[in-house]
Structure 1
Amino acid sequence: MNSKTIAYGILRAVAIIIGVLGLLWFLYKIQSVLIYIAFASVISLMGRPLVLFLKKKLKFKNSLAVITTLLIVIGLFLSIFMLFVPIISEQGQLIGEIDINKLGDDINRFNQEVSAYFKIEKLNFVELIKQTDLMQFFDLKAIPNAINSFLSGFGAVLIGLFSVLFISFFLLKDSLLLENSLLVLAKKEDENRFMRAFTKIKDLLSRYFVGLLLQIIILFILYTILLLIFGVHNAIAVALIAAICNLIPYVGPLFGGVFVIILAITSNLGFDFQTVILPKITYILIGYLIIQLIDNFLNQPLIFGNSVKSHPLEIFLAILIFGLLFGIGGLIVAVPFYTAIKVIAKEFLSEYKIVKTLTKDL
């Protein structure tokens, strides 16, 4: 091997490294655009069955079906937002009417009753607040900066919402737009397999996201019934937050349960701990656990098993691995990414035995 060949190989390797680093830098700089595309893709996958229904059953034209679907999506999000507006307003009014001395007495009494019932050392909430440096959040000098940050963040949210809806419209209108855009990355001889894989992924993920939406609706209804029975304030909003927490597998229900218990305690802070608060918390916790069992043994197997055609053990291991690698975000995207990997493996690596075993139901 002569010196020219070695030099050419070195230059080629350096050029490849620089190209990869440049691509990663470019993707990092446009990460917000990639997030918009990801959200738009999810909306298009969830809205796809509705678009097909409007076109086939109600004979809507393509553009009208897409616009109707997006209006329904916008209406859904607006309904959720409007659900919280009166609650935030009510909480603001309640905060303004709080008697600080009475609140302090209620907290101290609750602290004493809990300590006496469980026979533990009394917690000093004042010292706890000092240790966590919570007072730094009440620095009046920081208020102008907080207002500016809020206004700039609100503008960014508006731009993001418009971008997501704009991209979603064209993804729903032209179902092959994303496939054709990504087809440039495939070799000529692999285009047919690439299209089959992408169509299969789109179909499976569409069913998965629709099933996920159905799961949240079912949990929302069950949580609302539970919280209304035990008189938790703002039961509908609390139930919605707890249901949305279930988007994060395994960890989300834990966060939702803690949130529900905290709200249940604050809703009954002035009552006796042993005769009122503890029994109510116990019943709410039992009801919450029963709902989680219903979700784990009925909802999730139907959604994960039938929509993405994967064994529950596969799903569990995929979620566990993605969670360890990428944290909370990995838990959320584990199922869609694992499904995409399985479909691609079936199309391009079907000669391997392990791939045949894992993808036999696809």
Structure 2
Amino acid sequence: MTSNAITNGILKALGITIGILLVLYFFYKIQVVIIYILIAAVVSLIGRPIIRFLKKRLKFKNTLAVIFTMFLMISLLVGLIALFIPLIENQGEKLSLLNNEELQGKVEGLYDQITGYLSLDSESLKDSKIFSKIDFSLIPSFFSSLISGLGNFSMGLLSVLFISFFLLKDSQLLQDSVMVLVPNTKEKRWARSFEKIKDLLSRYFVGLVFQILILFVIYTIALLIFGIDNAIVIAFLCALLNLIPYVGPMFSGVLMMLLCMISKLETDASGELINNFSDVILPNTIGVMIFFIIAQLIDNFLSQPLIFSSSVKSHPLEIFLVIIIWGILFGILGMVVAVPSYTVLKVILKEFLSENKIVQSITKDI
């Protein structure tokens, strides 16, 4: 091999490396746009069954069906915003007016009642001054940042809705953009893969919406029955956490329990707790958590098996292992995207490696 050939090879490899780095840097800089497109793609997959129903059953034209579907989604979103923003602002005002020392006093009073109820020594923890090390301003700061972030949220929302409209109007738009990079000899196989992926993920995301809705209704009923303040906001946050498989329900259970107990932290003019722990706080919290457990049982034994088996065509054990592996590799975000990404991978493997015995085994139901 001549020196010129070696030099050309090195320069070519260097050029390819620089090109890849530039492309990755470009994607890094426009990551917000990519996130908007991905969210819009999920929205379009959720709206896909509605458009199909309108076109097949009610004989709507495509554009009219898309406009009607977007109107339904926007109306639902506006309703949620109109419902939640006043509640969040109200809670934020309450917490911002609440003196941090007063909040600390309430928590310490609650601790005294819990340790007294359990016949434990409460002085040991107080002597360690652990309460003085806790930043009680985190709660008001959280709500303040949540409200102040609505401006950025509105900008992103408009972008997502705009992209979603065109993805719904032209369902092949995203597919055609990707197909430009596909060789002509493999276009048909990729086209079949895209259609299968859209059908499976559409059913999956619609199933997730119903899963969150069922949990939200049960949580709201439970919190309202026991008179917990801001029941709808708490129910929505806890239901939304279930989007994180396995870990989410644990977080939502702890969050619901803490918010239920804090909700009843009412003091008189002297700073003493009005509600007794054993008579009010504990029974209400136990009652809410019973409903929470019932909701989780319904979700684990009815909602999730229905979503995983009928939508993404995967065994629950298979899904469990995939979520754990994705979680180890990519953290919480990996657990959230594990099922959709695994479904996409299975469809592509079946289309291009259908002769492989392992692929046949994991894709036999697709």
Residues 294-328 of structure 1: CA deviation (Å, up to 9, x unaligned): 11111100011100001111111111111111111
Q: What is the correspondence of 1:101-116 to structure 2 with a 5 Å cutoff?
A: 106-116=106-116
**Are residues 1:359 and 2:329 paired?**
no
- Residue 64 of structure 1 corresponds to 64
In the TM superposition, residue 41 of structure 1 has moved relative to its aligned partner by 0.1
1:259 is aligned to 255
RMSD: 2.7
Counterpart AA for 1:277:
I
Closer, same or farther: CA 268–344 of 1 in aligned 2, 3 Å:
same
SS of 1:185's partner is coil
CA deviation profile, 1:157-185 (whole Å, cap 9, x unmatched): 33322211111111100111111110012
Number of aligned residues: 354
Select between 291-300 and 129-138 the one with higher mean Cα deviation: 129-138
Change (3 A) 1:338 1:100: closer
1:232 is matched with 228
For the structure 1 residues 211 and 128, does the alpha-carbon distance in structure 2 shift closer, same or farther, using more than 3 Å as the test?
same
Partner in structure 2 of residue 131 of structure 1: 133
Preserved contact between residue 46 and residue 202 of structure 2 (Cα < 8 Å): yes
1:56 alignment partner AA: K
Quick one: which amino acid aligns to residue 178 of structure 2? L
**Gap runs ≥5 in structure 2:** 266-273
Counting only pairs closer than 5 Å after superposition, residues 218-229 of structure 1 correspond to structure 2 as: 218-229=214-225
Q: Tell me, which stretches of 5 or more residues in structure 1 are unaligned?
A: 140-145
Residue number in structure 1 paired with 2:270: none
* Residue in structure 1 matching 2:240, options 239, 244, 247: 244
Q: Normalising to structure 1: TM-score of the pair?
A: 0.89
2:162 matches 1:166? yes
Letter in 2 for 1:298: L
- Larger deviation, residues 321-330 vs 32-41: 321-330
Residues 119-145 of structure 1: CA deviation (Å, up to 9, x unaligned): 154444994454245669999xxxxxx
Equivalent residue letter for 2:325: I
* CA distances 1:309-356 after superposition (whole Å, capped 9, x unpaired): 011111111111111111111111111000000001111111211111
Deviates more, 1:266-275 or 1:254-263: 266-275
Verify: 1:334 aligned to 2:338, yes or no.
yes
Q: How many angstroms apart in 1 are the aligned matches of 2:255 and 2:327?
A: 22
Superposed displacement of residue 203, structure 1: 0.6
| Distance in 1 of aligned mates of 2:129 and 2:94 | 26
Structure 2: distance between partners of 1:66 and 1:74 = 12
Q: Counterpart of 1:280?
A: 284
TM-score (norm 2): 0.88
Q: Identical aligned pairs, as a percentage? A: 52
Residues of 1 paired with 2:85 and 2:355: CA distance? 56
One-letter amino acid matched to 2:330: F
What does 1:1-362 align with in structure 2 at a 5 Å threshold? 1-92=1-92, 94-95=94-95, 106-118=106-118, 119-122=120-123, 123-124=125-126, 127-128=129-130, 130-132=132-134, 154-269=150-265, 270-362=274-366
Report the 3-state secondary structure (helix = DSSP H, G, I; strand = E; otherwise coil) of the residue aligned with 1:231: coil
Deviations 1:90-138 (A, max 9, x none): 3355457768897666444322121223315444499445424566999
**Aligned equivalents of 1:38 and 1:129: distance in 2?**
43
